[in-house]
Amino acid sequence: MTSKPNSNALKVFPRRHLLTCEGLSANEINFVLDLADKAADHIRQNGKKRDVLDGRTLINLFFESSTRTQASFEMAGKRLGADVMNMNVATSSVTKGETLVDTAVTLNAMRPDIIVVRHHAAGAVELLSQKVDCSVINAGDGAHQHPTQALLDALTIRRAKGRVAGLTVAICGDILHSRVARSNINVLNALGAQVRLVAPSTLLPSSPERLGTEVYTDMWKGIDGVDVVMMLRLQRERMDASYVPSSREFFHFFGLDHEKLARAKPDALVMHPGPMNRGVEIASTVADHSRSVIREQVEMGVAVRMAVLEALSAHLPSFKDVA
C-alpha cells in the first residue's frame, strides 16, 4: 500500500519539475528542507524504507559522470520505494548520434515517473523536460544550475547553525564555471543570508554584483568575519591555462589553509561540494578539521534528494488517473 503524498506539497511546492533554484521562494525552500530534516532523522534512527514512491519508476540519466550525485539519487529513490534505473549514457545510442530530443522521446515511451538528468550543456535539462510527460530533476547542467546541491548545502548550514538568515557565507574559488555557486547564491539570498563571492578576477562572471552579492578579489578580506566558508572545485576541464597561472599559485592566494581560516569567525563552518582537490582549493588539515562539515554535506545529499522526490511525488498522477 502506497503512502499518500505530502498534501502540503501541492500548495507550498507547486512545481512539477526542479530545474533551477532561481525563483524559488523561502517558503518553498524551507518546505523541502523541513522534509529533508525528517528524512535525515529517519535514516539515522532506523533507515527503513518508506513507500512514498512505491510502484513508481525513477531513471537516472547522467551524460556526465558523477558517482556521488548519482549514487545519492539512487539511494534516495530506493529508500522511498521506487524502482530505480541508471542509464549508462557512455554505452547508449547517444554516442552513436542520437539527439537529446530522441533520447527524451524514447524514455517518455517507457512511461517513467521521474527522470534525474545531468548534462554538460546549460539548458539541456530544461529542453528535455519539455519533451517528456514525467517530472524532471536537474542534477547539474553545464555551468548553469545544480539545485539539489544548493539545497543540501543550506540544510547542512541550518542543522549546524540553527538558521541561515543573517549568516554571512563566503563562496570561494572558481565562481565563473560553477553551477554550485549560482544555485547557492539563489538559495542563500532567498533565505536571508549575506553572500560574498571570493575569487581572482579571471574566475568571476561579468558584473557579479548583479547577483546580489559582495565581491572580493582578496581572500583574506573576503572571509574576514564570515560564518561559513564554502570552497569550490577548480574546474580545469572547463577552462584553459590562462585563468590561473598554476595550482600552486592559486592555493597560495585562494586556497583555504589554517592561516586564512583564522580570519573567519572562530566557529565558522568549512564546506566543499566535492570532489576536493586537496592542496589546490583546500588544505587536507582544514578539510579534515572539526570545523569541516564536508562529510555532513554528503550525508545530507541523500536526505535532500529524498525530500525533493517526495515533494514532486505529490504532483504525479495517481495510478487511477493512468489506469
Domain ranges within the chain, ordered by starting residue: 15-144+297-312, 145-292
Name the amino acid, one letter, at 217: T
What single-letter DSSP state applies at residue 33? Answer: H
179 is an annotated ligand-binding site residue: yes
pLDDT at 199 over 70: yes
Architecture of domain 15-144+297-312 in this structure: 3-Layer(aba) Sandwich (3.40)
pLDDT at 8: 76
Q: Was 315 annotated as part of a binding site?
A: no
pLDDT-based confidence at residue 49 (cuts at 50, 70, 90): confident
Q: Is 111 annotated as a binding residue?
A: no
> How far is 289 from 291, CA to CA, in rounded Å?
5
Residue 6 and residue 311 in contact, taking contact as beta carbons nearer than 8 Å: yes
Can you give the pLDDT at residue 9? Answer: 79
Question: Regarding predicted confidence, which is higher, 315 or 17?
Answer: 17
Most confident of 38-47, 178-187, 229-238, 248-257: 178-187
Could you give the angle at which helices 147-161 and 179-190 cross, rounded to 10 degrees?
A: 50
Q: Is 149 annotated as a binding residue?
A: yes
Comparing C-alpha atoms, which of 84, 104, 83 is closest to residue 93?
Answer: 104
Where does the pLDDT of residue 295 fall: very low under 50, low under 70, confident under 90, or very high at 90 and above? very high
Please check if 68 is assigned to a binding site: yes
The DSSP secondary-structure symbol of 270 reads E
**All residues at 6 or more sequence positions from 217 whose CB lies less than 8 Å from its CB, including other chains:** 198, 199, 200, 201, 204
Equal fold, 15-144+297-312 vs 145-292: yes
Is 15 assigned to a binding site? no
Q: What is the pLDDT of residue 65?
A: 84
Does 118 carry a binding-site annotation?
yes
pLDDT of residue 90: 60
Q: Is 221 annotated as a binding residue?
A: no
**What is the percentage of the chain residues whose pLDDT exceeds 90?**
76
What would the CATH number be for the domain defined by 145-292?
3.40.50.1370
Q: How confident is the model at residue 264 (pLDDT cuts 50, 70, 90)?
A: very high
Going by pLDDT thresholds of 50, 70 and 90, the confidence category of residue 318 is: confident
Q: Residue 1: pLDDT above 70?
A: no
Please indicate, yes or no, whether the overall pTM of this predicted structure exceeds 0.75. Answer: yes
Q: Each residue of 97-144: pLDDT tens digit?
A: 678 889 899 999 999 999 999 999 999 999 999 999 999 999 999 999
Q: Taking residues 262-290, report their average pLDDT.
A: 95
Q: Over 80: is that where the pLDDT of 262 sits?
A: yes
pLDDT at 263: 98
Q: Where are the alpha helices (DSSP H) in the chain?
A: 9-12, 26-45, 67-79, 100-109, 124-129, 147-161, 179-190, 219-222, 247-254, 258-261, 284-287, 294-313, 319-322
Cell, residue 118: 545531468
- Burial class of residue 7 (count of CB atoms within 10 Å of its CB; 0-12, 13-18, 19+): exposed
